[in-house]
Chains A and B, each alone.
Chain A
Amino acid sequence: MPAADVAIQIKSALHELQKTNLKDPSLGEVLDLAQRLTDAMQAFFGSLDRSVYSELRYIAQYIQRTRDEISELRPNDIREARIPSAGAELEAIVKHTEDATNTIMACAEKILSCDPNKPEEYTEAVQAHTMLIFEACSFQDITGQRVRKVVDTLKHIESRVGRFAQVMGVNDAPPPETPEEKRKRDLLLNGPALGGPETAQDDIDALFASGGGPASQDDIDALFN
């Protein structure tokens, strides 16, 4: 029962008591005090009810908005269609690249093994294998298209997750380090740098030109300059 209804019932009960024409003045004062207390409680509980109702309505609206945003995010579509599709495209790129590299290397190995002392055979083999190399290089066009599809998927996910985070007012929490990430950090597995080597071969050469043994502080300083 809402607090306001309880207060109304108490007030009504007090009115009934007052109508019984009580003679004791002290009892009348107590009833009067109780009446004032009931009025105060009614106002207090009434405001509490409104506040709680308002909070609950806000929470309900927030949950509904979150559900709508998650629905807009289309997580099932991302998990079941887009991510597997992007993974398949990347696997196909790796396979095409590997096949093409192997074909090109096999042709180069065949050319290197040809006997230049037999000019006709040599020329024929070089021409045939050169054509195969050209054909193998066509992988670049296909992988380019596949990469474009993967990039489109990443952009799609980025835009949806970004919008969701913005609407929900999400702040990034520091992520816990996974065992795999710890291994990579411990073993300095940074992977290739974008845009070429981070440390130029010439700088590395300078470090090793100073001779064997551990690197001196000056050598290391030179690498960081």
Chain B
Amino acid sequence: MAVDMSMPILVVDDYQTMVRIIRNLLKQLGFENVDEAADGQAALAKMKAAKFGLVISDWNMEPMTGFELLKEVRADETLKTTPFIMVTAESKTENVVAAKKAGVNNYIVKPFNAQTLKAKMAAVLGDF
């Protein structure tokens, strides 16, 4: 099934510069319907208010981390199937394993490039 290029994507990061970078990369990949949140709590509120086709989240945020957001999303009946990619500087094996066990769909280590983001999105959503 073809990827809906107009689907809403939620970018969750407390660092505005990183949000801007991901927004621009997504724009270059053809995704312009992008919303943003500065932490897990704000993201969860947005996800409960509107349906997103993909969540791209940082790990280290206050007050709710991306890892906590992932667990909340996977525990919620209406949100649990939302594709979730973690984009983070947390590169310890224990982090990757914990995220995988919690149900993350893919995991990108910062710093990353456009090709990596595209490849991981394609792995989760299908080729586009």
A165 → chain B closest CB, angstroms: 30
Known: A105-B20, A208-B123. Contact between A192 and B91, CB under 8 A? yes
Check B101–A215 contact: CB distance below 8 A: yes
| A117 on interface, CB distance cutoff 8 Å | no
Check B96–A199 contact: CB distance below 8 A: yes
B105 → chain A closest CB, angstroms: 7
**Chain B, range 39-96, C-beta contacts under 8 Å to A:** 59-60, 65, 67-68, 89-96
| A144 on interface, CB distance cutoff 8 Å | no
Q: Which residue of A lies closest to B65 (CB)?
A: A187
Check A190–B106 contact: CB distance below 8 A: no
Check B91–A208 contact: CB distance below 8 A: no
In the bound complex, CA of A56 to CA of B109 (Å): 61
Contact of B107 among A101, A109, A191, A204 (CB under 8 A): A204
Q: Which residue of B lies closest to A212 (CB)?
A: B105
A129 → chain B closest CB, angstroms: 15
| A16 on interface, CB distance cutoff 8 Å | no
Known: A189-B60, A208-B106. Contact between A198 and B92, CB under 8 A? yes
Check A108–B95 contact: CB distance below 8 A: no
Tally of B interface residues using CB under 8 Å: 32
Q: Mark B93-128, 1 if CB is under 8 A from A, else 0.
A: 111111011010111111010001000000100000
In the bound complex, CA of A200 to CA of B116 (Å): 13
Interface size class of A (residues with CB under 8 A): 20 to 34
**Chain A, range 50-108, C-beta contacts under 8 Å to B:** 98, 101-102, 105, 108
Check A199–B92 contact: CB distance below 8 A: yes
Q: Which residue of B lies closest to A215 (CB)?
A: B100
Contact of A105 among B24, B91, B103, B105 (CB under 8 A): B24
Contact of B93 among A189, A198, A208 (CB under 8 A): A198
| A134 on interface, CB distance cutoff 8 Å | no
A-B contacts, 23 listed (Cβ < 8 Å): A98-B17, A102-B20, A105-B17, A112-B28, A187-B65, A188-B67, A188-B92, A189-B59, A190-B94, A190-B95, A191-B60, A192-B91, A198-B91, A199-B91, A201-B112, A204-B109, A207-B97, A208-B100, A214-B100, A215-B101, A219-B100, A223-B93, A223-B97
- B→A interface (CB under 8 Å): 17, 20-21, 24, 28, 59-60, 65, 67-68, 89-98, 100-101, 103, 105-110, 112, 116, 123
> Given contacts A191-B89, A204-B107, could you give 8 more A-B pairs where the C-beta distance is less than 8 Å?
A98-B17, A112-B28, A191-B90, A198-B92, A204-B109, A207-B100, A220-B97, A223-B96
- A→B interface (CB under 8 Å): 98, 101-102, 105, 108-109, 112, 187-193, 197-201, 204, 207-208, 212, 214-215, 219-220, 223-224
